[in-house]
Amino acid sequence: MAMNENEYLNLLCEINEAALAPERWLNVVQMLAGFTGSVAGGLTIEDPKSGTGAPITYFGFDPDHVARTWHHYLPMNPLFKIAPTMRPGAIVTNGMVIGTTAFRKTEFYNGWARPQGLCCPITLVLHRSGSAYVPLTLVRPDGTGDADDDVQDLLTRVAPALMKAFSVTMRLERLKSREAALEEALSKLSAGIVLLDRNRHVQFANEAAEEILRDGTMLTAARGLLRANAESDGNLQAAVSAALSGAGTSRANDVLLIKDGVRPILLSVLPVNPSNSMFEDKRNVGCVVIISVVDQRSVSGSSRLSKAYNLTGAEARLLDALLAGKDLGEAATSLSVSRNTAATHLRHIFAKTQVNRQSELIRLACMMTAAVKPPAYEAL
């Protein structure tokens, strides 16, 4: 069947659509089949070295026959005999590899092709990686002979567009796989992880972060924007602005969220280095927010901190009270000391641990239980 210019343009449009929407490759194969007198076709990935492969998409083959016999007959594919020459752009007819009479005597023909009424495939290689390649195969009805020169010329004409489109599809699929792997890795962390884009919208939140956001007591994602409780939201937005602008420092900006009766939450806002390949699949990510809830593990960390920095008993008890969610006044009351005494203890703790703010002190306690990185943690 000849292809006029309008049909050719429609085919090119469908090929371009398939590049970004892989499910449309089936349409491309069916259109090519219609222009070449083929009744079946598909895209597969095959590795002659191992004799293995898998269909990507296909039509015209008996699905039950494919499911039962694909892996048995694939290693018998005559094309495997010329595997080293199967480079991207190669177009191979069945007759180039094996004569019709010899082909009809093969187990591949009698067990795979003949039961489906098929014979004489023509193949265009779209991609190759190592010993594996991706052929687009069109198959004519049994008894109709090899594809003629017109069919080969048609495939030669559209081959560049097909190869370019499939390379885009492969790139997108790799990016999806890497993005899924990144999200799976982040989801397994005990600390909450939130990725914000450069417009401050939440792009991703792992399970630990989602739990905190659902609770909404200290942190929410209202209309896709990360917001802290009223007392601390200004500090959070300032930290996010600093991270997104890249101004000042590449180190984390800490924001401490405190509310009566609730354990504090420490937010560490880190800018994302554009050259960091970890976020190659999320190029719009502007910063990472690490959420550390000061829970019992952090209180356990306070005892390690007390030993490491030689805190007195009174200083250690004050630290435990602060990690339990009390402000300085409440901590003083619970310890039966004056606020001035508690403030003095806190200054001594600052001096011994060489920090200047309560948020840094809590971060240090969290670090003792590996909840977050130490203060020198650089931008991601």
pLDDT (tens digit per residue) in 270-282: 887 655 554 554 5
> Which has the closest alpha carbon to 371: 298, 282, 288?
298
> How far does the chain reach from its first CA to its final CA, in angstroms?
57
The beta strands (E) that lie in 260-323 are given as 262-271, 285-293
* Rounded Cα distance, 65 and 58, in Å: 13
pLDDT-derived band at 91 (thresholds 50, 70, 90) equals: very high
Q: 35 and 7 in contact (C-beta within 8 Å)?
A: yes
Q: Is residue 294 over pLDDT 90? A: no
* Rounded Cα distance, 364 and 29, in Å: 60
Q: Is residue 237 over pLDDT 90? A: yes
Task: Look up residue 293 and give its amino acid.
Answer: V
Residue 2: per-residue pLDDT = 65
Q: 378 and 250 in contact (C-beta within 8 Å)?
A: yes
Where is mean pLDDT largest: 172-181, 277-286, 287-296, 337-346? 337-346
CB proximity list for 159: less than 8 A, separation 6 or greater: 89, 91, 124
Both tokens of residue 196?
A: 């914000």
Q: 162 and 170 in contact (C-beta within 8 Å)?
A: no
Q: Is residue 377 over pLDDT 50? A: no
Q: Is residue 245 over pLDDT 80? A: yes
* Torsion sign, CA atoms 76, 79, 81, 86: negative
Q: Is residue 248 over pLDDT 70? A: no
Point out which residues pair with 205 in neighbouring strands.
Answer: 194
Count the helices and strands in the chain (H runs, E runs): 13, 12
Residue 252: per-residue pLDDT = 67
pLDDT-derived band at 344 (thresholds 50, 70, 90) equals: very high
> Which has the closest alpha carbon to 289: 229, 230, 228, 231?
228
Where is mean pLDDT largest: 47-51, 316-320, 336-340? 336-340
Q: Which domains does the chain have, with CATH numbers?
A: 5-173 (3.30.450.80), 189-380 (3.30.450.20)
Both tokens of residue 137?
A: 């195969």
Q: Is residue 151 over pLDDT 70? A: yes
Residue 256: per-residue pLDDT = 79
Q: 90 and 144 in contact (C-beta within 8 Å)?
A: no
Residue 297: per-residue pLDDT = 47
Q: What angle do CA 228, 319, 288 make, to 5 degrees?
A: 35
Rounded to the nearest integer, the mean pLDDT of the chain is 82
**Percent of the chain clearing pLDDT 70 (strictly above):** 83
Of 101-105, 230-234, 365-369, give the lowest mean pLDDT range. Answer: 365-369
Both tokens of residue 228?
A: 């802290």
SS3 276: coil
